[in-house]
Structures are given as structure tokens and as C-alpha cells.
Amino acid sequence: MSKFTVKVKAGIKREKPEQPEKELPKPPTRLARQLALAYLVERLIEQGRIRNYAEAARTLGVTKARMSQVLNLLALPPAVQEQILLGREPLSERRLRGGRPAGGSSSTPLFTASAAR
């Protein structure tokens, strides 16, 4: 006697309940991550876990000048910081530091009216 196996595919499809597609949150912008890093460094220094900005720069593997640039984001007005953290301020860090606006004159406002609220 020979043995054989029979495989049968049933043509039954199970319908999945419809689920609305969830919008994935947008990842934070680079500028928002840098602002968050500046707050983290400040907090670590206040807690005594890092002695100073130079140590923070060494720990993060950046120059002291770069660390200074990132920490200067803390000097921005709170309304602008909020817009950056919410992803509503489409500026680059270079423009915030005072670089010339792309394709515009130096008199072009750096912040939108929504940021001034």
C-alpha cells in the first residue's frame, strides 16, 4: 500500500474588520531635537552630572563651538521654542543663528506671525 497526502485549500476568506488608518506622528525636526538636547545638557549641569559645557561637548563628541551653538537655542523667545518643538517653525538652525535667509534679503523676518503669539 502506498501512502499519500492530500492538501486542500479552502476558498474561505476571512474579512478583517475595517480599521481606520492611523496617521503616524511626524518625527521631530532636527532643530527640535537640538533644542531638546540643549535643555537636557542644561539639566545635567544643574544636577551636577556634568561639570560644564566643555565636558558635555566631549561626552557628546562635538566641539565646544558646536555645543555653544546648540545651547544658544535656549536664548530664543519661548514662543519660538514652542513652535520649533511642535514642528511648526520650518527654519533651519543656520537662519536662527543669523545667516542670510535663503533667496531673500537680510531684512526678511526670521519668524512667522504664528510664532509671535
Distance CA 47, CA 67 (A): 18
pLDDT in tens, 90-117: 677 777 777 544 444 444 445 544 444 4
Distance CA 73, CA 96 (A): 8
| Structural domain contains residue 103 | no
Higher-confidence position of 22 and 67: 67
Task: Specify the pTM.
Answer: 0.64
Distance CA 88, CA 114 (A): 9
Q: At residue 38, does pLDDT exceed 80?
A: yes
Q: What is the 3-state secondary structure (H, E, C) of 89-107?
A: CCCCHHHHHCCCCCCCCCC
Structural domains counted in the chain: 1
Residue 33 binned pLDDT confidence (cut-offs 50, 70, 90): very high
Q: Is the CA virtual torsion 35, 37, 40, 41 positive or negative?
A: negative
| Structural domain contains residue 45 | yes
pLDDT in tens, 55-85: 999 999 999 999 999 999 999 999 999 999 9
Rg of the chain taking only CA atoms, in angstroms: 26
pLDDT of residue 113: 42
pLDDT of residue 82: 93
Q: HSE-up of 52 (CA within 13 Å, CB side)?
A: 2
Grid cell at residue 7:
492538501
| Structural domain contains residue 94 | no
Domain range for 74 is 28-87
